[in-house]
Structure 1
Amino acid sequence: MLALRSLLFNVLFFGLTATVGFLALPLFLGPNAFVRRMMHLWCGLMVRMLYVVCGTRVELRGREHLPASGPALIASKHQSTFDTFVWFALVPDVAFVMKRELFLLPIYGWYAKWTGHLGVDRTGGMAAMRKLMRDGKHAAAEGRQIVIFPEGTRTAPGERIPYQPGVQALAQTTGLPVTPVATNSGLFWPRRSFLKRPGTLRIHILPPLSGRGQLMERLEAAIEAEQARLD
């Protein structure tokens, strides 16, 4: 039964994503707000479908730490593909920090580039970091909510790898506090896995941290302590 439900969800997920993506291409001719609204609706549909088909319920705690509007810098644990789209439904105007290669993907990459997500060349060294800082400052000036995965890649539940300096650079450039986020999404939508498991997928948003004084140490401690409880 788990395999059948997962198969149905995957068919619907990719099929509907492709269909909606192609049908909504004319939105590129209008303001970005039209595309953002479409992404918000699509994300809400995917979250609902995950519950109906797979029995995976999404629980959000700490919503009061998210802005209703205006710029924000959000550092989220990254365990699953789920993390790469759920923020379209959680904040009004998300700007993901993502590897530049994703811009080359059909449909998703087109939308990501058109709506101004922040592409990073992970082999670009300091030049890539300076570009990230410029792009982040511009996104913050536009009132967008920047979401960055501080480890720079997906991790399995219970796995820990070093946090990367991109969060620190964005905090210094934008002057924004950093909102830590923990999630157990990898337990229900594992990386490189066909199966989608039932249960309660939790997203815990923690109080923002100021960008001063040992930010990375405080950020990692906050996320990983909450992560240990979720995993």
Structure 2
Amino acid sequence: MAYAIQWVRSLLFIIAVYLSIAVIGLGLFPWALVSRRGARAGCMNVSRFVRWAAPWMIGLKTEIRGTPPDYECIVAAKHQSFLDVFMVFSALPAGKFIMKRLLMYAPIVGQYGLRIGCIPVDRGKRGAAIKQMVEAVHEGKATAGQLIIYPQGTRIAPGVKVPYKVGTAVLYEQLGQPCVPVAANVGLFWPKRGIYRKPGTAVVEFLEPIPPGLPRHEFLKLLETRIETASDRLNAEAGFHAPN
């Protein structure tokens, strides 16, 4: 019975999230079209709504640890579900994502993404996408801020080990910016697929920045070690231990 009640609460929460995207997105759309500030306000308000509604609708609290950067940098984040997207974005003053080009054509979401400075890339064309983004930054086409990238390329369930892609290291090397690793345990509560959301405390943790200048291989190894070690620690705090 308890599972069924939580499932219904989860369903209502998901409906509320999508309604918030529609209502806030459409309500601020005229402002977003003429002002990047308006687009960022729309995205920030949706992110804050999700974090505000989750505790009382499904019993899921959210916690940001560490010091989110307020300077121009790369933010390499553990990606487990859509919840970490809302949490990381809400913690940054000028966050922008590398997003799938397909999202450009999504109603509301695509236009807001472009307006806040997200870089659309073709899935499966990572090398070309990295080159395109680096060129955009150097030519001043991309807006300044915190560039959020997922070094494993997609959502990965807690405890699952997937290699880190070289794309993040290439960006780090060519942009010459510090990289802030971000760990998370949110997938324990908000999974990649399905409706059920588990009560608890979802944590996103900003870790010690990696200064620019490290060799590509050394950087990627350090990035993976920091994110995976911290994410395993957060999982253990929530009572989860990956099977051997």
TM-score (norm 1): 0.92
Give the counterpart letter for 1:18 in structure 2.
Answer: A
Give the Cα–Cα distance (whole angstroms) in 2 for the partners of residues 57 and 138 of structure 1.
Answer: 41
Distance 1:197 1:124, change over 3 A: same
Which residue of 46, 50, 53 corresponds with 1:49? 53
Q: What is the 5 A alignment of 1:130-169?
A: 130-137=131-138, 142-169=143-170
Other structure's SS at 1:112 match: helix
**Residue aligning to 1:173:** 174
**Conserved 8 A contact 2:64-2:91:** no
Give the Cα–Cα distance (whole angstroms) in 1 for the partners of residues 101 and 27 of structure 2.
Answer: 25
State the 1:226 CA deviation. Answer: 1.0
Identity of aligned residues (%): 33
Give the counterpart letter for 1:34 in structure 2.
Answer: G
Instruction: Provide structure 1 residue ranges, at least 5 long, that are not aligned to the other structure.
Output: none
Distance 1:138 1:18, change over 3 A: farther
In the alignment of these two chains, the number of paired residues is: 228
Give the counterpart letter for 1:77 in structure 2.
Answer: K
**Residue aligning to 2:98:** 97
Give the counterpart letter for 2:224 in structure 1.
Answer: E
Instruction: Provide structure 2 residue ranges, at least 5 long, that are not aligned to the other structure.
Output: 236-244
Give the Cα–Cα distance (whole angstroms) in 2 for the partners of residues 140 and 85 of structure 1.
Answer: 25
After superposition, the CA RMSD in angstroms is: 1.8
State the 1:141 CA deviation. Answer: 7.4
**Residue aligning to 1:20:** 24
Give the Cα–Cα distance (whole angstroms) in 1 for the partners of residues 186 and 169 of structure 2.
Answer: 25
Give the Cα–Cα distance (whole angstroms) in 1 for the partners of residues 28 and 137 of structure 2.
Answer: 27
**Residue aligning to 2:81:** 80
Give the counterpart letter for 1:118 in structure 2.
Answer: I
Distance 1:205 1:28, change over 3 A: closer
Distance 1:185 1:139, change over 3 A: farther
Give the counterpart letter for 1:49 in structure 2.
Answer: A
State the 1:138 CA deviation. Answer: 5.7
TM-score (norm 2): 0.87
Which residue of 67, 70, 79 corresponds with 2:69? 67
Give the counterpart letter for 2:69 in structure 1.
Answer: P
Give the Cα–Cα distance (whole angstroms) in 2 for the partners of residues 67 and 113 of structure 1.
Answer: 22
Give the counterpart letter for 2:44 in structure 1.
Answer: H
Give the Cα–Cα distance (whole angstroms) in 2 for the partners of residues 171 and 138 of structure 1.
Answer: 17
Distance 1:13 1:125, change over 3 A: closer
**Conserved 8 A contact 1:136-1:173:** no
**Conserved 8 A contact 1:97-1:120:** yes
Give the counterpart letter for 2:12 in structure 1.
Answer: L
**Residue aligning to 2:231:** 227
State the 1:207 CA deviation. Answer: 0.2
